[in-house]
Amino acid sequence: MKIFKLKSILPTKKSFFYGFLGWVIWILISTLVFKFQTSSVFPKFNSLLFSLIISTFNEIPFIFLSFLFWWHVQNLNLSDFSPLRLVLTHLILAFCYSALWLTILTKFNYEVGGIEGLMAIRIDSFILWQFKEGVMKYVVLVGIFYLVEDYKTFQKNKIRQKELKISARESELKALKFQINPHFLFNSLNSVNALVTQNPQSARKMIVLLSDFFRSTLEIKADELITLDEELILMEKYFAIEKSRFSDRLSYEIDCKEEAKKVKVPSLILQPICENAIKHGLSKVVENGKIKIEAKIENGFLIIRISNPCEMNCEEPERIGIGLENVKNRLEQFFGEKSKFETSRKNEIFISQIEIPI
């Protein structure tokens, strides 16, 4: 058996404001209609103020009843009831509330002094006419309330879909980033293992550098953008670790223009490129293993170029590896199709270039 949770009868502040505004407009329209209907038959009642007072008092009971209408709409969801059952339920409620409103209205009109004659003349048609008006008002208000609820549901679903999309994006970014650290850690631990017996002091130094590097990277979220200046500091720590492996065979140069340092980039976006440069370039070159990082702003883009030496007979791969594919995917996640990542080879220099819109 389905259990329904009854919602509050009170509307939100925003709903109350719009409801109040709607009733004010409706009362003003009713005032004009009432004045027009009574102007020729009852000249002594042909006063705008009198028509406003009568219309206001006529609508006050219905205004309070509309809170119950709102409550019914909230608890009689379109998705929880069959259309036939929903229509029959609201028809019964419309008749009941219209009868209640008519009872209150009739008593008010006969209790107010000076109005007896007006109501006595209209008594034959008054009850039926007011009853029809009550049913019509109920149907219109319930229809409006269902539209409001449907719009609120649509907005909630839209926000939920947006949150799910952001969550999926964050999860993908985390997965991409987590592909970087284990791969790098595996290579570094192999190097530490090799240094433990050959050069214990260098092994201890490398462990300290590794600890410092991973402490810095763990403080950065996977979906976080950092300044290029902060990214280059991480790369200097990374190069310090790699120099423990390659000693004097590895050198690097960073040429970053001042205006480019404050541009936001994905964290650790350069590390896989530099690792690729060392693994496929520097490790195969006997000497002059210099990696150069250049950064500048050009035509509304941040241009980052990483170049490294490679053997003369090395060929540019037909497809990029996991690390460089990771770079491309992360750029697309953050910046879409406007970003670019390209690799090329010029003589004995392998070049990787990133373009980020700013």
Report the CATH number at residue 232: 3.30.565.10
Q: Does residue 244 lie in a domain region? A: yes
Residue that terminates a domain, selected from 163, 186, 215 = 163
Residue 4 counted as domain residue: no
Is 8 a domain residue?
Answer: no
Position 264 pLDDT exceeds 90 = yes
Q: Which of 112, 141, 163 is the last residue of a domain?
A: 163
Q: What is the pLDDT of residue 118?
A: 47
* Single pTM value for the model: 0.52
For residue 281, being part of any structural domain is answered with yes
Average pLDDT value for the chain: 76
Taking 60 as the threshold, does the pLDDT of residue 274 lie above it? yes
**Is residue 191 included in any domain, yes or no?**
no
Q: Do 139 and 214 lie in a common domain?
A: no
Same domain, 267 and 149: no
Check whether residue 204 and residue 338 sit in a common domain: yes
Lowest mean pLDDT among 28-37, 169-178, 205-214, 319-328: 169-178
Q: 256 and 139 in one domain?
A: no
pLDDT in tens, 2-61: 444 445 545 567 666 766 777 777 778 777 776 776 655 555 556 777 677 767 777 777
φ, ψ for residue 298 (rounded to 5)?
A: -145, 120
**C-alpha angle 236-317-252 in degrees, rounded to nearest 5:** 20
Helix/strand/coil percentages in the chain, nearest 5: 70, 15, 20
Q: Are residues 224 and 321 in the same domain?
A: yes
Do 36 and 127 sit in the same domain of this protein?
Answer: yes
Residue 35 shares a structural domain with residue 87: yes
Give the pLDDT confidence score for residue 209 in this predicted structure.
Answer: 86
Res. 330 pLDDT band, cuts 50 70 90:
confident
Number of structural domains the chain divides into = 2
User: Are 108 and 217 within one domain?
Assistant: no
Which range has highest mean pLDDT (57-66, 126-135, 198-207, 333-342)?
Answer: 333-342
Mean pLDDT of 264-269: 88
Tell me if 322 is assigned to some domain.
Answer: yes
pLDDT value, residue 353: 94
In Å, what is the CA distance from 222 to each residue of 17, 169, 271, 325, 354?
43, 10, 14, 17, 19
For residues 67 and 122, membership in a common domain is answered with yes
Residues 151, 243 within the same domain: no
Residue 285 near residue 247 (C-beta atoms within 8 A):
no
Same domain, 141 and 207: no
Are residue 131 and residue 230 in the same domain, yes or no? no
Q: Report the alpha-carbon distance of residue 106 to residue 284 in Å, rounded.
A: 100
Q: Is residue 177 part of a domain?
A: no
**Residue 45's pLDDT is what?**
56
Cβ atoms of 342 and 314 closer than 8 Å = no
Domain stops at, among 137, 163, 189: 163
Q: Between these two residues, 242 and 48, which has the higher pLDDT value?
A: 242
User: Which residue range is the domain that position 246 belongs to?
Assistant: 199-357
- Residue 324 maps to a domain: yes
Supply the pLDDT for residue 2.
41
Model pLDDT, residue 172 = 56
